[in-house]
Structure 1
């Protein structure tokens, strides 16, 4: 009988220890006394959505602190802490220290990566949230406005729901995506993806310092004329502006997992997770065709992927260099077939189904009507075109362009109206000044 009781006691103790081990192993928090060690239990968000630990990408032997989906069969890394400072051994430790700094140390206790802060707290902790955001805060303080640091401000190649891709005008911080160098090296590659607030907000994909793709300005419903920037059944997206910040982001509307990535070869993709297929399903791809290439057809050139060749001149425009145009060198763009003469009262012609031109050198006023917009443009001989900035509720706001119109795309569907300054001798669908 005593033997049976003793066996029952040890079995209960073993089960209790296993439960305690699992409880500590599933913690979502790093404290000043509880670290994340390479080879030990990972950190997991409370709902078991995300997990953080040490990993080696592909065949690389380097070690990184990364974050991935916990319950997805294909390990999908969405964030890397020490992307430019890999560990070469398996003895790394991620700690939180006063006054509120995350530090990654190697086997000799040398700091290889750390966060920074301009504030200090007495009892700092790092917590992994179900959103995929790793935050540093004072223990017990759950106010979002009191965060010391967050990984959402320092993304790598993945945009998660709830992230803000853009610029904070108060702090001056810009948050943008940067690709990995290759599949085995998460260090920043050549490609970056930005929400550019200059002129009027639009998203821009760059390779180095060169723009390779432009979404078009946000028009209240979508990116202007870009058929690829469509909402899915599982998420909504938009560009949000205020006096303090401009950013692009998306929110989930279902429990389906969605992520936006920038690959090492410069391709933007939106993926959804398929439970049935146990794999990632591509939903959107950018660039999708040649017309997504930035200013492929030059100034006042219009790209239509259904035409052959894709580039043509807007109506009442002609190639700037006919010989080059015949050779499919469209970089010189197009010019008006009749030169402007502002003293003779130019007119504005209406062009429809247009992906609005590059807005980085534009001017905007969100309270103006289209009539007020036209009057403002007509009084300035340097104003080349105008349009509504918002197409909702029959249109509102004003966009003015003062330089050549670049990166225009035109098709039978989508897009919006733009009014381009032309010589008064031109006729057609026009609005006289």
Structure 2
């Protein structure tokens, strides 16, 4: 079934994912003990109605707030899709779920489940996943210093941790951590598949050497949670990071041992950063911020000192349960170093992700992002103009993924559904 929105130049279709054994799914009160991805969608044109803003939740429990930091908890209950990604050449699609489950789908094979992974020793939720470049191994993280690695290329379809397959634990803690436990919010394989970089809730960045089976680098990087990290390019020398301390930082591993400091700091966000994505050229990156803006950065404009740049705010606000203050939307950082700013989407409740569009099909001329208002936003890279707003979901869209070769975008939402968007005819691409 295909639903066409002619004025937007895109069409929407139900993403038919093989959901495995649904006989064990029990639904009560609108929630399920195991969430279905391929929920039935209404057979009508996509809704065009007003999207309601998030509302403050009462009462506020400090304990629940901390536990729900990235525990897949929202006012509507548990959400299913915590992470979704087309992988490398687009032949595979990875989706992580609240119930300790990760599924790898064969895109070219009709979106059939290639591997169903039941994760091991989780704390709260699966916070991030990454598949190796050769598609042989998958790593997943939670609110723990230990990540786990799975043989994604094996013939075993049902990968139950330490029952049908071994999920080896990789310990990212070090004596320098002082015995304190921490969680991993973000992790990425290097292009050669030999290393994994990770960002922790303790403000540190870690690089793990898979061949040596040990940490090769620990960086005391930020004053707050490191919500996102990535390698800048194929060389693996540069690392980008984004944190709740409002800064993006650039780390050059070639000179870090001598300096012990970042290669540079990118200043401009007024609130914490939820995600960073590299253009892959070692020069440009984008970041999604809790100040409700995406920023485009050129590392050639970075600063060497941010001691006096952070500034202050004259309002009390927490993105986990409050709307962003209206007057704060007009504020600008006095020392903003970004090349461009993109506004219109909503970054609330969770670490919403943003990306450059694919090189092959679009020339990376767009930026796209999920949003708390249940939509996906697409911006023109050069003009900063909003060129599309995709509306279907009924709750926060945390992640979305544009196929590297085809005009297809897939989104995952707190409503428990994964949707596929196509761009036929007068398409963006």
TM-score, normalised with respect to structure 2: 0.28
Kindly indicate whether structure 1 or structure 2 has the higher relative contact order, using CA contacts under 8 Å at least 6 residues apart: 2
**Structure with bigger gyration radius:** 1
Higher helix proportion (structure 1 or 2): 1
